[in-house]
Amino acid sequence: MRIFIFGAGSLGSALGGVLADRNEVVLIGRREHVRAVQRNGLKILGDLNRTVHLEAYESLRGLDPPQLLVITTKAYDTRASIRSLRGSVHDETMVLTLQNGLGNLEQLRVWKAEKAFGGTTTMGAALVGPGTVRLSGLGRTIVGSDLDPRGARRIVSAFSSSGLHATSRKDVLDEIWTKAIVNASMNPVAAVLRVPNGRLIGSPVVSRLMKEICGECLLVAGASGVKLTSERLNRRIAAVCRDTAENRGSMLQDVERGRKTEIEQINGEFSARGNVVDVPTPLNDALVSIIRSLANATASEKG
């Protein structure tokens, strides 16, 4: 399958490098990273430890359209990404979001209708430097089949042929909300405390805080028609903390570097949706304000 990875940073590049084993893959990313891949190939450290030679560009202009477009940009770039992609794909191109947060699939379906697929992945990846990523686990990828089961099967087949553990699910929104709740409960707490993920479950006080954030998000989910259980979510949060114990989360890294964070698309979405369904979200509201302040303060120091 001809696959474009749009927003090829850490996750997108690692995913593209794996998919290139059995598919025609093109990375679309930032200039420095793209040029390094063009010169020396994509170096994948960790689980695979190999160099993959594949095409990489800064945009889709002038390229033949893909059969599948995978979007792995930051969630705050979704709207701008759609604007830049219009005219670069054909009507039958399938678009799959593997982004963080809530709201990405809704935006894509306004554009691509049933050819927009929601998805989640637990693949672990970090960008070491231009042209180099570290893969810390292939994880599990789920593709939504609610509107186009045949298309979902094609995507799963392309992923599975390259050795990825991929499945399709009709109720993919449950998976998207689950991942968003896990992120909302962990990422901003780690960013505020400036600690790697494993430290979050080492403190009873912090563990309790994450459970309370999770509970608040679950109330919003339930009132929005998404039924999830607290026992399952709290187990998932603890498991992610253990499995990524040494990782410094993306939100923490963004705060430390004075970059824009995904707080609005994660906790901010729970606040906004809670307001719509009349569910108070004081913890999410507070985390949004704190992360905004931290990011702004770091940016001012570096500026």
Query: What CATH number did the domain enclosing 136 receive?
Result: 3.40.50.720
Could you tell me the CATH number of the domain that includes residue 288? 1.10.1040.10
Q: What is the 3-state secondary structure of the chain?
A: CEEEEECCCHHHHHHHHHHCCCCEEEEECCHHHHHHHHHHCEEEEECCCEEECCEEECCCCCCCCCCEEEECCCHHHHHHHHHHHCCCCCCCCEEEECCCCCCHHHHHHHHHHHHEEEEEECCEEEEEECCEEEEEECCEEEEECCCCHHHHHHHHHHHHHCCCEEEEECCHHHHHHHHHHHHHHHHHHHHHHCCCHHHHHCCHHHHHHHHHHHHHHHHHHHHCCCCCCHHHHHHHHHHHHHHCCCCCCHHHHHHHCCCCCCCCCCHHHHHHHHHHCCCCCHHHHHHHHHHHHHHHHHHHHHC
Asked if residue 273 and residue 166 are part of one domain, the reply reads no
Task: Give yes or no for residue 93 having a pLDDT over 70.
Answer: yes
Q: Give pTM, 2 decimals.
A: 0.93
Which tens digit of pLDDT belongs to each residue from 186-227? 999 999 999 999 999 989 999 999 999 999 999 999 999 999
Which residues, in sequence order, are CB contacts of 153 under 8 Å at separation 6+? Answer: 145, 168
| Tokens describing residue 213 | 């954030």
End residue of a domain, out of 170, 194, 217: 170
C-beta of residue 64 within 8 angstroms of C-beta of residue 37: no
pLDDT number for residue 181? 98
Q: In what order do the strands lie in the sheet with 50-52?
A: 50-52, 42-46, 132-137, 124-129
End residue of a domain, out of 115, 144, 170: 170
Model confidence band, residue 299 (pLDDT cutoffs 50, 70, 90): low
Query: Annotated catalytic sites, by residue?
Result: 179
Asked if residue 137 and residue 94 are part of one domain, the reply reads yes
Cross-strand pairs, 25: 3
pLDDT number for residue 112? 97
Containing domain of residue 201, as a range? 173-302
Task: Give yes or no for residue 185 having a pLDDT over 90.
Answer: yes
Average pLDDT, the chain: 94
Asked if residue 195 and residue 156 are part of one domain, the reply reads no
pLDDT number for residue 244? 85
How far, in Å, CA of 200 to CA of 138, rounded? 23
How far, in Å, CA of 60 to CA of 3, rounded? 12
Write the single-letter amino acid at 128. Answer: V
Report how many domains make up the chain: 2
